[in-house]
């Protein structure tokens, strides 16, 4: 299955586009997305910028609500990655 990850803040370094398509095994959850992100960051040599991102980011569903690590993803689901925030 595949999901679309909308990128915000520091995670925008992961792609030139606003979203990143991620291939996942069927019935994957958010925890799996964190694992895949760790791999992508390593493959793209972005550890110096994004090493902590997989463990510190939150994820929003399409309803803009934070989802837990055991949240089951659906094929073609659109979710947002929310790196640590700091406005003001």
Partner 1 sequence: MNLHTVLVKIEEEKISSEKAKTFIASEKNGAESIFIGRVRNENSGKKVTAVTYDAHDQAVIKSFQSICNEAKNKFDKNAKIFLEHAKGYAPVGEISILIAVGSGHRDEAFKICRYILEEVKHQSPIWKKEHYADGKEEWLPGHSLRPKKKI
Q: Name the site residues for partner 1 (rule: CB under 8 A).
A: 8-10, 12-13, 49, 55-58, 60, 64, 66, 68-69, 80, 82-88
Tokens matching residue 43: 């493959």
| Cα(73)–Cα(26) distance, integer angstroms | 8
Q: Which is nearer to partner 1, 4 or 60 (CB)?
A: 60
Based on the number of CB atoms within 10 Å of its own CB, is 19 exposed (0-12), middle (13-18) or buried (19 or more)? middle
Minimum separation from the CB atom of position 27 to partner 1 (A): 21
Nearer to partner 1, 36 or 58 (CB): 58
Report CA 53 to chain centroid distance, whole Å: 9
Contact 61, 35 (CB under 8 A): no
User: Given the complex with partner 1, which of 2 and 62 has the nearer CB atom?
Assistant: 62
> At its nearest, how many Å lie between partner 1 and the CB of residue 87?
3
Minimum distance of partner 1 from residue 53's CB (angstroms): 10
């Amino acid at each position: 299955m595949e999901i679309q990850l909308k990128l915000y803040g520091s995670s925008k370094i992961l792609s030139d586009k606003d979203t990143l398509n991620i291939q996942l095994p069927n019935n994957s959850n958010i925890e799996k997305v964190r694992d895949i992100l760790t791999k992508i960051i390593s493959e793209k040599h972005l550890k110096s910028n994004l090493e902590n991102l997989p463990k510190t980011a939150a994820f929003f569903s399409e309803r803009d609500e934070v989802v837990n690590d055991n949240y089951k993803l659906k094929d073609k689901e659109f979710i947002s990655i929310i790196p640590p925030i700091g406005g003001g």
